[in-house]
Structure 1
Amino acid sequence: MYHLETLQKMLYDRNKTRTKCALYQFFILEILFMKMEILFMKKRRGYLHNNYQLFYLKDQQTKEIEEHYHEFPKIVVFISGKASYLIEGCTYELQPYDILLIHQNDIHKPLIDLSLPYERYILWVDPAFLHSYSQKSSELLACFQIASQNNLHLLRLKDSALMIFQSHIKALHQELMSSDFGSDIMADTFLFQIMVQLNRELLSRNNAITSYNSDPRIQSLIQYIRDHLEQPLSIPDLANQLYVSPSYLMHLFRQETGMSLHQYITRKRIQLAASRLKEGIPATEVCFSCGFQDYSTFSRAFKKIFKTSPGQYNNS
C-alpha cells in the first residue's frame, strides 16, 4: 500500500509522462493509477478487514466526533479522560475501565471533554468470526444482542472481575504487537476469554449499569421505529403517539440523540436495506420493503452512506 506522499509524487510523474509516452501507454498508466487510488481510499475508510482489530489510543481530540455506526460489533474500554457515550439515544457517563458493548448498526457518538487526553482501547470484531467459534449454548455475540435490545451497553466490573479483564485486554494487545511464535494463536485465546467473560457478566446482570440519561418517551419511540421500519413513519403520526406536537417531537429527539428524527429513520432503513441486499434480494424489492416510497429517494440515501448504488453494493 502506498503512502499519500508517494502517491502524490507518482501522480506528478504521471503528468510528466503524458508528453513522453505513446497514447496507449498513457491509457495503461491511467488504469494503474485509478486502481491505486481506489486501494488507497479503501484503506482510509477504516473498515474491518481482519477477524478482529484492537486499538490502544491516547490522544487529545480537537473536534467533536459525529454520530456513526459500524457493520460489526465494537467494544470500547474507557481508561482515562473525561467522556460520556451516546448510544441509540442513551447517554452513559464513563468511569475508568468502564466497558461499552456496541452492536453492529447501533448509532453512537463519544462526548469528549476536549481539554483532556482521551485514553481507551477499541476492539472491532467480525461477527461471522465470533459466531463460527460459538456453541449452541454459548453464542459469543449474545452480549451485543442483549446490550442493544435492553439498553445495557455499559459494564462496570469490580474487584477480581476487573483485574481479570484488565489482564486479558493487556495480554491481547501485547500478543497482537508481538512477532513471537504462536502470538496469533495466543491472541485468539485471549479474545475468546474476553468474550466469554463479557457474556457471563452481562447475562448475570451483576455489573451491567442500568442507569443512563435518556427521556423514556424517546426510548419508547426509538424502539417503535426499529420495530416498524417497513411501515410508514410520518412525523405527525409519531408525534400523536407521544401526545406532543411535531415541532416539539423533532426538538426533543435531536436534543436526546444528537440527530434529527428524519435522519435516524433514514439511517435505520438504510441499515436494514444493506442487510437485505447482502441476502441477494433485488434492490427494487429491498427499496419498498424497507419503507421507502420511491427508488430515487432510496438510491440517493443509500449512496450518501455507502458511497455506492444499491445495485452495486455487494460488488463494492
Structure 2
Amino acid sequence: MYKKTGYLQEPLKLFYVQDSTEWICPYHYHDFHKITFFLQGNVTYEVEGKSYILKPYDIICVAAGQLHRPIISDQKLYERIIAYIAPEWLYTYQQKACDFSPIFAPSHAPVLRQSSQTETLADTIRRLRQTWYEGQENKLLKDTIFLEAMLYLSEGLKKKTVTTVKLGNHNEKIQQIMSYIHCHLKEKLTIPILAEQFYVSPDHLMHLFKKETGYSVGTYITTRRLILAKHYMNAGLPLTEICYECGFTQYSTFYRAWKKYYRTKPRDRGSSVIDDRPLE
C-alpha cells in the first residue's frame, strides 16, 4: 500500500529543501494540494504513472489524492521549495475573486514550464528562495511572496505563457487502463476483467502495469478506492455506504484495507500516523 504522507495543521505550509542523495521516493499521496517550485537537480517526476523530466523553475502541481513520486537520478544538488495547500486556503482566495483551483485542474499536465515571458514569476520564486538564504523566519513575508507567485502562475496559465510539460516515456495502454479504473471504481474490477477489456493477457497486464507504474494492479485499485473512501468520509457519509460506494463487496474487506492503509480504524474518521517532514 502507498501511504498518505506529510502533515498539515494550517492552511499553508512552506518548506525549502536541498539535498544531494540519489533516491527513488516511494509512491504516496497527500490529503492536501502540493506545489513544488523546482530549482535545480537531475530529477524525473512521476504523477499517476506519467513521468516528466524537470528543468529549473518548472512547477509541479499535485492535487490532493494524486499518487506521485520524484526520482533523483544522481547526487547532484536537488533544490526545491514545497508548498502544502489546504482546500480551505484555496477557498479563502476564491471568495476574494482569486480562483487558484485551475492550477490543479486535470485538464492539463501537472508539471508546468515558464516561457521567457514569465520572468516575473521566476523572479518571485527567486525572492521566495532568498528569504531562506537570508535566514528570515518571517512567515508572513514567505506566505505573501508565495501568494504573489500563485497570482503570476494563475495569470500565466490564462495567457498561456505558462505551458504544460510534455510527457516522458509512458505506455499509452497503461494510461488507458488507469483511466478506466478511475471511472469504474464502484464496479467489479479484476485482472481478468481488465485484460478482456483491453485485449491483453492477464500475465502481460500484470507485468506491464507493475513495470510502468511501480505498483500492482490490485494495489492500485485498492489505493484509489481508499482515497475515494476518505473523500466520502470527510463529507460525512455513513461507513457502510462508503464501503459499497467505493466498490468493496464486503465491509470486512473495506475495514481491513482501511486499517492497513491508514493504520487506524474507519470509525476514527481517517486519522493516521503520518510523517512529520515534507515528503516529495
Cα distance in structure 2, aligned partners of 1:136 and 1:186? 20
- Deviations 1:258-291, CA, capped at 9 Å, x for gaps: 1111111111100110111111111111111100
SS of the residue corresponding to residue 253 of structure 1 reads helix
Cα distance in structure 2, aligned partners of 1:138 and 1:81? 32
Is the 2:41–2:77 Cα contact (8 Å) retained in structure 1? yes
- Deviations 1:64-117, CA, capped at 9 Å, x for gaps: 310001111111222222110111011101111211111111100111114323
Q: Match of 1:191?
A: 146
Cα distance in structure 2, aligned partners of 1:187 and 1:63? 28
Q: Pick the aligned partner of 1:202 from 124, 147, 157.
A: 157
Cα distance in structure 2, aligned partners of 1:283 and 1:295? 9
- Deviations 1:182-239, CA, capped at 9 Å, x for gaps: x554444322222222223334444323521221111122111111111111111111
Q: Which has the higher strand share?
A: 2
SS of the residue corresponding to residue 284 of structure 1 reads helix
Q: Match of 1:159?
A: 116
Q: Which amino acid aligns with 1:105?
A: G
Is the 1:81–1:118 Cα contact (8 Å) retained in structure 2? yes
Q: Which amino acid aligns with 1:132?
A: T
- What is the correspondence of 1:202-221 to structure 2 with a 5 Å cutoff? 202-212=157-167, 213-221=169-177
Cα distance in structure 2, aligned partners of 1:312 and 1:274? 11
Is the 2:81–2:129 Cα contact (8 Å) retained in structure 1? no
Q: Match of 2:278?
A: none
Q: Match of 1:150?
A: 107
Please report the RMSD computed on the Cα atoms of aligned residues, expressed in angstroms: 2.2
Q: Pick the aligned partner of 1:123 from 83, 95, 119.
A: 83
1:284 aligns with 2:244: no
Identity %: 37
Q: Match of 1:33?
A: none
Q: Which amino acid aligns with 2:63?
A: H
SS of the residue corresponding to residue 133 of structure 1 reads helix
Is the 2:264–2:270 Cα contact (8 Å) retained in structure 1? no
Q: Pick the aligned partner of 1:105 from 65, 69, 75.
A: 65
SS of the residue corresponding to residue 175 of structure 2 reads helix
Q: Unpaired runs of 5+ in structure 1?
A: 1-44
Q: Match of 2:210?
A: 254
Q: Pick the aligned partner of 1:297 from 253, 258, 268.
A: 253
Cα distance in structure 2, aligned partners of 1:268 and 1:204? 34
Cα distance in structure 2, aligned partners of 1:82 and 1:175? 24
Q: Match of 1:67?
A: 27
CA spacing shift, 1:239–1:204, aligned 2, 3 Å? farther
Q: Match of 1:306?
A: 262
Q: Match of 2:136?
A: 178
Greater relative contact order, per chain length (Cα 8 Å cut-off, separation 6+): 2
- Give TM-score, length-normalised by structure 2: 0.86
Cα distance in structure 1, aligned partners of 2:271 and 2:33? 22
Q: Match of 1:228?
A: 184
Question: Max radius of gyration: which structure?
Answer: 1
Equivalent residue pairs, number: 265
